[in-house]
Homo-oligomer: A and B are copies of this chain.
Amino acid sequence: MFAFDGTVLIEDEFLRDGLQNEKRLFSLEEKLGFLAQLEAAGVKRIQIGSFVHPKWVPQMANTDELFTCLKPREGVTYTALVLNGAGLERALAVGAKHLSISVSASETHSQKNTNRSVDGGRAKIKPVIEKALSEGILVRAGIQSALGCGFEGHIDPDRVSDIARDFAAMGVQEINIADSAGLSNPRAVYELCRRLRDETPANVALSLHLHDTRGLGIANFVAGLQAGVRIFDAAVGGLGGCPFIPKATGNVATEDVAFVCEEMGIETGINWQMLREPVERAEALLKRKLPGRMSHMPPPPWAQHSEDK
């Protein structure tokens, strides 16, 4: 039940999902500083921004510039979010090699977020995904609100399954299942992930995007592991949150998921204790304490350096 094979890949989304709701705009230099700290701690995939119109999300306005500053680094993937054809063109122009392209599984969320129905959103992104794949981009196709919606409540797993199978048929490399509002529970995570695993080809990776809104983030993460998922989104400090959910406390924290993996003997490549620095830096810049736990707690005795004891 807890004998997990393989390693776990964490995609850190501090720079995208984390910063996109913050009033304070982060400069290119600040973002590059966080990037360097994440890489130093061993984070292997980093979502650095979103190719959305800067009018809607000014926090992401320097995503193109950030991409052009990146130097390829062995074993590290830089990725970003794309929501439409214009975003894809920008991503291609700066040489992106890996992208997330997503739709919502909730009618209400889809309407509020993009002014389109779910089917309208699916029709709109299909050619975007196909174009990206034809350009050699590694595509992660995402399903937002796949595990619950703050407006609609439960989301029919049949609908999520239909979207996922459609993505698989397009030839994407990964399907991301997002609990965008932090409404899921371990049983629901396990059951949906098992179902999608059974219904999609084994060469399409499944990944999970979890929010800790109601304190179930780590338990949901472990349930995902049990269902065979090995790629997870997280954000340093647990920053982030859904603008549609009051008091949403953000993504599961990268340091917390790396910690629970380490404790259970699962390799992530991340030294979670090295993530205290970016958390402290983010807290200083944002002038508040972030919700991630292990950046504020002493490590277990067996993980302490002798000078800490």
B interface footprint on A285-309 (CB within 8 Å = 1, 0 otherwise): 0000000011011101110000000
The answer to whether B154 touches A191 (Cβ under 8 A) is no
CB A27 to nearest CB in B, in angstroms, measures 31
B153 touches A265 (CB 8 A): no
Is A58 on the interface with B (CB-CB < 8 A)?
no
**A216-B151 Cα distance, complex, nearest whole Å:** 29
Flag whether A104 is at the interface (Cβ < 8 A).
Answer: no
Q: Interface size on A (CB < 8 Å)?
A: 43
Interface: A263 (CB within 8 A): yes
The reply to whether the CB of A183 lies closer than 8 angstroms to some CB of chain B is yes
Name the one of B1, B151, B185 contacting A264, with C-beta atoms under 8 angstroms: B185
When C-beta atoms are compared, the residue in chain B nearest to A253 turns out to be: B215
| A186 in complex: contacting residue of B150, B216, B260, CB < 8 Å | B260
Enumerate A225-269 residues with CB–CB distance to B below 8 Å. Answer: 226, 245-247, 256, 259-260, 263-265
Identity of the chain B residue whose Cβ is nearest the Cβ of A252 in the assembled complex: B215
A216 in contact with B213 (CB, 8 Å): no
How far does the alpha carbon of A222 sit from the alpha carbon of B184 in the complex, in Å? 14
Residues of B close to A300: CB separation below 8 A: 148, 153, 183, 214
Q: Which of B154, B185, B218, B226 is close to A1, meaning CB atoms less than 8 Å apart?
A: B226
> With A300-B148, A300-B153 as given contacts, are A264 and B215 in contact (CB-CB < 8 Å)?
no
Residue numbers of A with Cβ under 8 A of B are 1-2, 148-154, 183, 185-188, 190-191, 213-216, 218-219, 221-223, 226, 245-247, 256, 259-260, 263-265, 293-294, 296-298, 300-302
Cβ contacts A to B, 16 pairs, < 8 Å: A148-B300, A153-B300, A185-B263, A187-B263, A214-B259, A214-B294, A214-B300, A215-B293, A216-B260, A218-B218, A219-B219, A219-B221, A222-B222, A246-B298, A247-B297, A247-B298
Ranked nearest first, the 10 interchain pairs of A and B with the lowest CB-CB distance are A215-B293, A185-B263, A2-B187, A153-B301, A219-B219, A187-B264, A218-B219, A153-B302, A219-B222, A186-B222
